[in-house]
Amino acid sequence: MKIIGTYNIKGGVGKTATAVNLACLAAMEGYKTLIWDLDPQGAASFYYRIKPKIKGGSDKLLAERNLDNVIKGTDIPNLDLIPADFSYRNMDVQFSEYKKPAKQLMKLLRPLSEEYHLLFIDCPPNITLVSENVFYAADVLMVPIIPTPLSIRTHQQLLRHLKHKPMLKLNMMPFFSMVDRRKKLHRQIVAELPKRYPDISPHMIPYASQVELMGVRRAPLFTYAATTPAAKAYIGLWQAVKQSIK
Amino acid sequence: MHRHQRNWLLEDETQLHDFLNSLRDQYDLSESGQSAQRISYLDTFDWRIWRKGDVLEYHEFNRQKKLVWRSIDHEKIYMEIPVDECPEFINDIPDWLMPDVLYEATRPRAVVEQVLSRSQSQVYGLRDTKGKMIGRIMIVHENQRHNNNRLGSALPMRLYAEPMRGYEKAFEKVKQVIDQSGLKAYGKDPLVQLLRLDDRSPCDYSTRLRLKLNPEQRADEASRQIMLQLIQMMQLNEYGIRDDIDTEFLRDYRSALHRVHSLLGQLKHVIPEDTRQRFEDDLVWLDAETSRLFELNNWLLDFEQYRGLIADDEQLYLDELHGWLRTQRHAALMSVVRLFASDKYQKFMKRWRVFLECEIPEHSVLRWAEQPVHKVTGRRIWKTYQALLDYKGKDLPRLLQIDLARMDQLTATLSDLLTLFSMLYPHGKAIDMIRELRIFSDALGTCVASQRQIQLLRSLIREMKEGGITQKKTEAAMDELLNCMLDHQSDRLRNMKTLFLDITGDDMHKRFKKMYGKS
């Protein structure tokens, strides 16, 4: 099983939309896919019409170490979801009570590897022990960046943080998200930033109202706007992710 | 956790229509996709996946290609794996997608298409009153498909029902609706039904002979029946060797060949001597012609194991030997392919079949030809066992060093005779003896194989050195490997003594005498 995390310290950058749409694409290609909505806000669960609640909360989940009972099927064939729960907000405290606290998520996910080909983790926007766990577990960490100074600043913060964690062999894939080419600032940053950070993927997701409509439709983009430029951009991004995990 | 599916039989369109209406009364039923698929049912030539209780299907629809690994009768879907093309071996699937269990079950055998079909399916999503999808049902029409793409007979229409993950409880009610509709369970797996249309069944390839011999049957008639099946077995394996599908084809080919040879050796005065002698010469020729490929196959299959015998830092230097073995194997394979196409081989096969298929004369001048088969075989088995007993009390490991081949031949002949004629004797008794003899025979076979591999390695070292294509470090690694193999062989030969005592001990002796000594 390959694990793909969508992460950024900053909120509202398109992490959930990326996880939801890429997971949908993977499932449509026949990969048995699971998405874990680790963000207590529960947006990914909402998009997939699943109640953001798990019985017993994260306490029970970590104590029993059995994810089988909390997995729910979605309307998309081959795609299941572990719903969010408000108790996830305390997960970092719970992780810290174990030995090797940064590797607890990895341990928890191990039994799923026989059943799923791909796991997408939609991370909450912060930098805590939970994110540290995702860094250890993920084969690819996708980092959406809005081409704005604030977003770039948080990306730099992340890079500085990871510099102090040389044991992490993290395959990071930053990419531009919500790019609005009408804005001069966006155009400038998209042109200049990759020169400083060549790791930034050439695949960028445009700002599009169809993506925002996901919240209204409560479904991934490909179920209602599969041929739009935004959908095509996600397809390009998914191809790049697939290349990097193969 | 595996996906659980149940399947039911749909007798006709009316029943389908009524059933869908009864579901619509209670659920929001929406059509959620239609697909036409080409399905290849895959298995190893000796049905290892089926024997494990599973079925492997390769589906092609639109541009999507996937493998479906499921249990027989569709009770469980273990995994659906997207692939770029139909794999030849399970380890052609990328590591992160490959199910280890399936790999273990099939390796190193290729998966081949056993039967082909075309299916059309209609999927319906079932939503509860809150609009949440709780499961899917699928209506499937499947037809046999011939190699020329023509559609063959249709299988009965079937219905699959599968709950969504996490909604199993809610889906139980759907199952109740299905049961109340009076639908019957689907019955035999589609794979079985498709094979049946071709008068086949799963596991229809077996090295075990399907014979019904009568103990009172004439010896010449019975022996011809057996040899005919063995020759058919050889022919059945030819295509797999020619197309290089799997090394097991050659193994089975040679196993049948050796069995015919063992049997022929025991048929003096049962079939005309000049015929027997000519066939025996032909079999020796065939054995020699196919042995190099066989030995090289074994070498390559065991290569990593052998590599592990020498020091870690020297293992790398054996890559050159591996490359050489592969080149040599290719040449040996081409030589066998040419052999199969040769006039000499074709004539040999034809001559054999004509002789074995022709009616036997009512009366024969040959001494044993008209005797009951149980009498002739019992006598031969007893004589062969006594020949084996001659080794008793002697320094076996030393004798084996000198004459391993003779002991192997005797044991193989005895094992083949016991196996081929086991149905003539009280059920179970011969089987126990075969089992015990086989333990010895297998251990001896390992020694013989190892000795051949040592001989082959010696000749390869010589060839490589003469060709000037080895580096000093490779030569040193190969020499070390040869020494390790010789040490292992000595250990094996020492262990043979205990096993030999098991089959020549008083208890076994009495059993042989009771069953075969009176013939």
The dihedral over CA atoms of B294, B299, B304, B308, expressed in degrees to the nearest 10, equals: 150
Q: What is the DSSP string of B84-118?
A: SS--SSGGGS-TTT--HHHHHHHTTPPPEEEEEEE
Residue A103 has pLDDT above 80, yes or no: yes
Our CA-based measurement puts residue B179 at a distance from the nearest CA of chain A, in whole angstroms, of 24
pLDDT at A135: 92
Task: Please name the residues between 239 and 298 in chain B that touch chain A, using a CB distance below 8 Å.
Answer: none
Task: Give the chain B residue nearest A51 (alpha carbons).
Answer: B132
Cα separation, B256 vs B320, whole angstroms: 34
User: What string of DSSP letters covers B417-429?
Assistant: HHHHTGGGS-TTH
pLDDT value, residue B235: 87
> pLDDT higher for B388 or A46?
A46
Q: Give the integer Cα–Cα distance in Å for B361 and B372.
A: 15
For range A53-78, the mean pLDDT: 90
Cis peptide before B108 (omega within 30 of 0): yes
Contact call for B1 and A72, based on CB within 8 A: no
Residue B209: the pLDDT is 67
Work out the minimum CA distance from A76 to partner chain B, whole angstroms. Answer: 10
Check if B64 contacts A (Cβ < 8 Å). yes
Q: Which residues of chain B make contact with A73, given a CB cutoff of 8 A? A: 133, 163-167
Using the Cβ of A168 and the Cβ atoms of chain B, whether some distance falls under 8 Å is answered with no
- How many contacts (CB atoms, under 8 Å) link A and B? 46
User: Are A29 and B82 within 8 A, CB to CB?
Assistant: yes
Contacts of A77 in chain B (CB under 8 A): 136
Q: Measured between CB atoms, does A29 come within 8 Å of chain B?
A: yes
Residue B514: CB partners within 8 Å, gap ≥ 6?
A: none
Mean pLDDT on A61-84: 92
Q: What's the burial of B3, exposed, middle or buried (CB within 10 Å: 0-12/13-18/19+)?
A: middle
Distance CA B186, CA B184 (A): 6
- Give the pLDDT confidence score for residue B206 in this predicted structure: 65
Q: CB of B60 within 8 A of CB of B38?
A: yes
- 3-class DSSP assignment, residue B153: strand
pLDDT, tens digit, 9 for 90 and up, residues B463-513: 888 877 777 888 889 999 999 999 988 888 888 888 888 888 888 888 888
Query: What's phi and psi for A179, nearest 5 deg?
Result: -75, 125
Q: What is the DSSP string of A11-56?
A: SSSSHHHHHHHHHHHHHHTT--EEEEE-STT-HHHHHTT--S--TT
Contacts of B64 in chain A (CB under 8 A): 29-30
Q: Do A73 and B99 touch (CB under 8 A)?
A: no
Measure in Å the smallest separation between the Cα of A75 and chain B Cα atoms.
6
pLDDT the model gives residue B125: 92
Mean pLDDT throughout A76-103?
92
Put simply, whether A224 touches B (Cβ < 8 Å) is no
A246 in contact with B, Cβ within 8 Å:
yes
A77 touches chain B (CB under 8 A): yes
Each residue's pLDDT tens digit in chain B (519 positions)? 666 777 888 888 898 998 899 888 888 998 888 889 999 999 988 888 998 899 999 999 888 899 999 998 777 888 899 999 999 888 888 888 888 888 888 877 788 888 999 999 999 999 988 888 899 999 999 999 876 677 888 999 999 888 998 888 888 888 888 888 888 888 889 999 999 888 788 887 666 666 677 888 888 888 888 888 888 888 888 888 988 878 888 998 999 999 898 888 888 888 888 889 999 999 999 999 999 999 999 999 889 889 999 998 888 889 988 998 999 999 999 999 999 999 999 999 999 888 888 888 888 888 888 888 888 888 889 999 998 888 887 777 777 777 788 888 888 889 888 888 887 877 667 777 888 888 888 888 888 888 889 999 998 888 888 877 777 888 889 999 999 999 988 888 888 888 888 888 888 888 888 888 876
CB-hemisphere CA count at 13 Å for B270?
A: 22
Whether residue A216 is predicted with pLDDT greater than 90 in this model: the reply is yes
pLDDT tens-digit profile of A104-122? 999 999 989 888 999 999 9
Spatial contact of B349 and B227, defined as CB atoms under 8 Å apart: no
Q: Is B357 exposed, middle or buried (0-12, 13-18, 19+ CB in 10 A)?
A: exposed
Q: What value does the mean pLDDT of chain A take?
A: 93
Helical (H) or strand (E) element with B175: helix B168-180
Tell me the chain A residues in contact with residue B99 when contact means C-beta distances shorter than 8 Å: 114
Contacts of residue B125 in chain A, CB cutoff 8 Å?
75
B9 touching A (Cβ < 8 Å):
no
Is-contact B389 B504, C-beta < 8 A?
yes
| B63 to chain A: closest CA residue | A29
pLDDT tens for A22-43 read 999 999 999 999 999 999 999 9
pTM, to two decimals: 0.67
Q: Shortest CA distance to B269 belongs to which of B370, B358, B355, B363?
A: B370
Contact flag B133-A73 (C-beta cutoff 8 Å): yes
Pick from A1, A45, A72 the residue to mutate for testing the B interface (most B CBs within 10 Å): A72
Identify which has the larger pLDDT, B100 or A47: A47
CA dist., res. B269 & res. B220, Å (int): 9
